[in-house]
Chain A
């Protein structure tokens, strides 16, 4: 079998020749990338305050301050920037989770009736991460460099154990000499479980009238 070397010069000794059937493809988990990502993550992402992640049993959502929430959101952003997506997944609640990005022309779009860009339930979110961790998400192999920025964080009133939070975001994405951006507003519903704060739903409404300046949305906002 002819070995094909990736265009970016990475050593891909197990990358199949392009005529190989998909069934011969390497597993979607790529140990090489996971290891590298974990090392970078360990360097770049300080753990958040223990009250938020790791020891949150009984956390009173209503008692949390904006600063607490910002700390959590900054941690999430740092994990995304470090491409530590496995750890990012652990920030999510395990039930009734939803990650939604409406279309640019219908920011009020309802994913149960309208076309949206992303409507991930728990399985699809996990598969999105698995895909992005693999070498087969061609649009994100090699990964973009990203910078997830959070502003204007505002806390709503806790209802049924869920804390609504809105925040403005700018996500910069750089790849192959090109830069693009995503600007909009996050709408979170946060909950707590025995391990700390968790994201139940995250809806990212884009302010750009079209997605065209960014090209596509292969990254996570």
Chain B
């Protein structure tokens, strides 16, 4: 696997888009604010970015049994993921009857032998095959019903339980697309011997801000201390010894993906006991840590146990393996509005006390009612309002350009923007750009 490093100063300052400017010699990287506000940019993003990327659909644990299904929008389209009763394979279908269009999966989740369109009662099995048509004899013999099965999304692949789909039939295979991010999905998937699962309960909220602001924010180490003061005060009240701060690095994982990997004072439900957890779970968590080292060796075991990893998988998936593990995806509905959906990933069959610690960790920080995420929401909306104030054309994300990027630098955001610039191409989409 090849990791893309920060570009050297000899590289061209051009990123391919006039809206994203990189000047390595001047240690300057900036993004034109029209990328966050322009309806033209938004329309082109739907076409160039979301139609030509691998998009996260869900986790295989959500459809563990044959016939299990979940319905959700992916890239702005309504699809559903179902495990075929015969093949045991996970399918992702467009949620529309091949007859005249009504949705065939009308529940948010469940288990079904068949999906029947209620309009004219066409019936499809869990493999997508059209298995029932009332008054079939009314159709001529020439009509080939085998072509009228549910339509699969163009590409569907999964990696370590994470299911992705793409509307681009010609896109590279998922593992090639994931590039360096695959290694980090491995670290998440390997953190429990029994495997990881999405647990019941979904955070479905929204933010009145451009979606790319959440891509930036999710891997932004720089904002943690100033923005999340009340969260750190809570940890201290719980008994955390706040020493050492955040220490780590940022990595460009290729294809627009990036991660910050760092050590932090807080405990991790995966396998790092923290003083704020109390003594009750200490033994259990320390035995999890020992088991990780036994399975993966000292170096990798401790990396899984100890390091926090905020990862952005281009364009709109975030997997933050921090005090708990969140899987978060977001989709714009307009330049200034996005829907956010977040799940919690946990070790299957874990000790109830560890599960409780994990849940506490998650919802104290994360989620739309936590002690931190609402303040991120406010920060992003504040940026969007600031853009509308005008007067300033460019956002600066140059931090750390002249050094090996640290976890609180901005190289991970530059990785995202380079890929975005590449996909969006040389148009300025009508923006009046001055330099």
Of the listed stretches B139-147, B166-174, B309-317, B368-376, chain A binds B368-376
Tell whether, in the assembled complex, residue B368 and residue A119 are in contact, meaning their CB atoms are under 8 Å apart: no
* Chain A minimum-CB-distance residue to B231: A131
Given known A-B contacts A123-B237, A215-B207, A114 and B201 have beta carbons under 8 A apart:
yes
A130 contacts across to B, CB distance below 8 A: 230, 233
Tell whether, in the assembled complex, residue A114 and residue B199 are in contact, meaning their CB atoms are under 8 Å apart: yes
- Looking at the complex, which one of B208, B362, B369, B371 makes contact with A127 (CB distance below 8 Å)? B371
Tell whether, in the assembled complex, residue B362 and residue A215 are in contact, meaning their CB atoms are under 8 Å apart: no
How many of chain B's residues touch chain A, expressed as a range?
A: 35 or more
* Chain A minimum-CB-distance residue to B368: A216
Tell whether, in the assembled complex, residue A105 and residue B201 are in contact, meaning their CB atoms are under 8 Å apart: yes
Residues of A contacting B: mostly: loop
Residues 108-143 of chain A: 1 if any B CB is under 8 Å from the residue's CB, otherwise 0?
A: 010111111111000110011011001011111000
In the assembled complex, the Cα of A109 lies from the Cα of B362 at a distance in Å of: 15
Residues of B contacting A: mostly: helix
Interface residues of B in 355-369 (CB under 8 A from A): 355-356, 359-360, 362-364, 367-369
A104 contacts across to B, CB distance below 8 A: 202, 204
Check: B126 CB closer than 8 A to any chain A CB. no
**Sample (20) of A-B pairs whose CB atoms are under 8 Å apart:** A18-B226, A22-B226, A103-B203, A106-B201, A113-B359, A114-B359, A115-B343, A116-B363, A117-B368, A123-B237, A124-B360, A127-B234, A130-B233, A136-B375, A138-B375, A139-B377, A210-B205, A211-B368, A214-B205, A216-B368
Residues 252-289 of chain B: 1 if any A CB is under 8 Å from the residue's CB, otherwise 0?
A: 00000000000000000000000000000000000000
B160 to chain A, nearest CB (A): 21
B108 contacts across to A, CB distance below 8 A: 105
Q: A115-B200, A116-B359, A130-B233 are in contact. List 9 more A-B contacts (CB 8 A).
A: A111-B359, A113-B352, A119-B360, A137-B230, A178-B208, A210-B205, A215-B368, A216-B205, A216-B368
List the 10 shortest-distance A-B pairs measured between CB atoms, nearest first: A115-B201, A139-B374, A217-B369, A218-B374, A216-B368, A103-B201, A131-B230, A114-B200, A22-B225, A210-B204
- Counted as pairs of residues, one from A and one from B, with CB atoms less than 8 Å apart, the total is 139
- Looking at the complex, which one of A18, A109, A137 makes contact with B374 (CB distance below 8 Å)? A137
- Looking at the complex, which one of A25, A117, A211 makes contact with B363 (CB distance below 8 Å)? A117
In the assembled complex, the Cα of A123 lies from the Cα of B208 at a distance in Å of: 31
Check: B402 CB closer than 8 A to any chain A CB. no
In the assembled complex, the Cα of A140 lies from the Cα of B382 at a distance in Å of: 13
In the assembled complex, the Cα of A51 lies from the Cα of B344 at a distance in Å of: 44
- Looking at the complex, which one of B227, B238, B339, B359 makes contact with A119 (CB distance below 8 Å)? B359
* Chain A minimum-CB-distance residue to B340: A212
| Chain A interface residue count, Cβ-Cβ cutoff 8 angstroms | 45
Check: A9 CB closer than 8 A to any chain B CB. no
Tell whether, in the assembled complex, residue A106 and residue B375 are in contact, meaning their CB atoms are under 8 Å apart: no
Tell whether, in the assembled complex, residue B237 and residue A127 are in contact, meaning their CB atoms are under 8 Å apart: yes
In the assembled complex, the Cα of A192 lies from the Cα of B108 at a distance in Å of: 42
Given known A-B contacts A113-B355, A115-B363, A139-B378, A22 and B232 have beta carbons under 8 A apart:
yes
Residues 71-111 of chain A: 1 if any B CB is under 8 Å from the residue's CB, otherwise 0?
A: 00000000000000000000000000000011111100101
B339 contacts across to A, CB distance below 8 A: 212
Q: Which of A104, A106, A113, A130 has the most CB of B within 10 A?
A: A113
In the assembled complex, the Cα of A112 lies from the Cα of B199 at a distance in Å of: 11
Check: B379 CB closer than 8 A to any chain A CB. yes
Q: Which of B237, B339, B355 has the most CB of A within 10 A?
A: B237
Tell whether, in the assembled complex, residue A105 and residue B238 are in contact, meaning their CB atoms are under 8 Å apart: no
- Looking at the complex, which one of A22, A138, A211 makes contact with B203 (CB distance below 8 Å)? A211
* Chain B minimum-CB-distance residue to A214: B205
* Chain B minimum-CB-distance residue to A110: B200
Check: A1 CB closer than 8 A to any chain B CB. no
A104 to chain B, nearest CB (A): 6
Given known A-B contacts A22-B225, A127-B234, A138 and B378 have beta carbons under 8 A apart:
yes
A113 to chain B, nearest CB (A): 6
